[in-house]
């Protein structure tokens, strides 16, 4: 399933600007924005290549690992 060209260009520009704004903000918020744009790009690739279910299972696993890391800290 390929997105229309206009939609792909919109997503690319939006994620690029989101990452740039992330670079210009204070460190924790900036890193979070850069990470979020990377996760969105990776997620779009996973959805296109595999399935929505695999994408959400991956996101759930990432959330679980993040919570485990925060609790240990």
Domain boundaries, the chain: 5-72
Average the pLDDT over 41-60 and give the result.
62
Residue 71: is its pLDDT beyond 60?
yes
Average the pLDDT over 23-51 and give the result.
64
- Count other Cβ atoms within 10 Å, centred on residue 37: 19
Average the pLDDT over 5-23 and give the result.
73
pTM of the complete model: 0.36
More confident: 71 or 43 = 71
pLDDT at 14: 77
pLDDT band at 66 (very low <50, low <70, confident <90, very high): confident
**If you average pLDDT over every residue of the chain, what do you get?**
68
One-character DSSP codes across 9-37: HHHHHHHHHHHHHHHHS-HHHHHHHHHHH
């Amino acid at each position: 399933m390929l997105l229309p060209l206009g939609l792909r260009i919109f997503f690319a520009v939006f994620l690029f600007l989101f990452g740039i704004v992330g670079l210009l903000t204070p460190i924790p918020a900036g890193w979070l924005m850069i990470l979020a744009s990377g996760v969105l790009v990776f997620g779009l690739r996973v959805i296109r290549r595999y399935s929505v279910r695999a994408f959400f299972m991956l996101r759930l696993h990432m959330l679980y690992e993040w919570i485990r890391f925060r609790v240990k800290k």
